[in-house]
């Protein structure tokens, strides 16, 4: 079993649509990161959230850390083909770093 | 920002040979380096955690005699896949923690290993 479950696992949408990716756990994290990975490349850090309830915005991407620091969400507004990739959340318990199960997003032009 | 490099980016080898992959932190000293394995469209699977000057800590199910890790300095860790077999073919990614920002991992670009 994975410590961090992401949903959905796969998502295919039309350009211009909105979407939300969820990252859930029963464990508490001192911080949580979101990464995006393109095929054949390493993950690229998008954001780090550390405070319960924190909301961070990165252009069309909005990240939220749950109040209890057990879950997070990533919302993309008006998705573009360039948003296509594998989105990974990752949580730090202070002792170890755990990756989520991943969400593969395809944005169709 | 912090940069991590991996070499080689792609390698093809024959079954039974050994392959070494290097991971370097280019502009920072890494407290800890991590080695991951990834299958297509799946998340990263942590193989081992490597601390400079000490033995690596392997995750359950990862054979330490098959995946040799050496963390020679604060900027270099190597993963050697010994006696490689086709089932070892995968995308291997390393990451490094920066001492300055300990809750952030910086990832290398990955190494695609194909064992024939």
pLDDT above 80: residue B25: yes
Nearest residue to A102 (alpha-carbon basis) of A1, A3, A10: A10
B50 HSE (CA, 13 A, CB side): 27
Given this model, what pLDDT does residue B30 score?
85
* A59-to-A62, A93, A102, A104, B35 alpha-carbon distances in Å: 8, 28, 22, 20, 31
pLDDT above 70: residue B39: yes
Given this model, what pLDDT does residue B71 score?
87
CB contact under 8 A, B112 and A40: yes
Given this model, what pLDDT does residue B51 score?
84
Pairs of CB atoms within 8 A across A/B: 53
pLDDT tens readout for residues B71-99: 888 899 999 999 999 999 999 999 998 76
- The confidence band for B31, taking pLDDT boundaries of 50, 70 and 90, is confident
Q: Which residue of chain B is at minimal alpha-carbon distance from A5?
A: B43
How far apart are the C-alpha atoms of B11 and B19, rounded to whole Å? 8
Instruction: Decide the pairing of beta strands A10-14 and A103-108.
Output: parallel
Site of tokens 């850090």 = A45
pLDDT tens readout for residues A60-87: 999 999 999 999 999 999 999 999 999 9
């Amino acid at each position: 079993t994975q410590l961090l479950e992401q949903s959905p696992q796969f998502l295919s949408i039309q350009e211009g649509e909105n979407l939300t990716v969820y990252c859930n756990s029963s464990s508490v994290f001192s911080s949580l990161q979101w990464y995006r990975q393109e095929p054949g490349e390493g993950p690229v850090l998008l954001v780090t959230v550390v405070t319960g309830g924190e909301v961070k915005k990165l252009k069309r991407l909005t990240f939220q850390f749950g109040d209890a620091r057990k879950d997070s969400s990533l919302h993309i507004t008006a998705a573009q083909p360039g948003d296509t990739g594998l989105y990974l959340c990752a949580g730090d318990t202070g002792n170890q770093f755990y990756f989520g199960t991943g969400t593969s997003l395809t944005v169709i032009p | 920002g912090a940069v991590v490099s991996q070499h080689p980016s792609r390698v093809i080898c024959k079954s039974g040979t050994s392959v070494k992959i290097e991971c370097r932190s280019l502009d920072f000293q890494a407290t800890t380096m991590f080695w991951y394995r990834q299958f297509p469209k799946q998340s990263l699977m942590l193989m081992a955690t490597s601390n400079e000057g000490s033995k690596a800590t392997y995750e359950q199910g990862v054979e330490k005699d098959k995946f040799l890790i050496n963390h020679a300095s604060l900027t270099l860790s190597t993963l050697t896949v010994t006696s490689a077999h086709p089932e070892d073919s995968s995308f291997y990614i390393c990451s490094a923690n920066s001492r300055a920002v300990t809750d952030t991992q910086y990832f290398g670009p990955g190494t695609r290993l194909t064992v024939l």
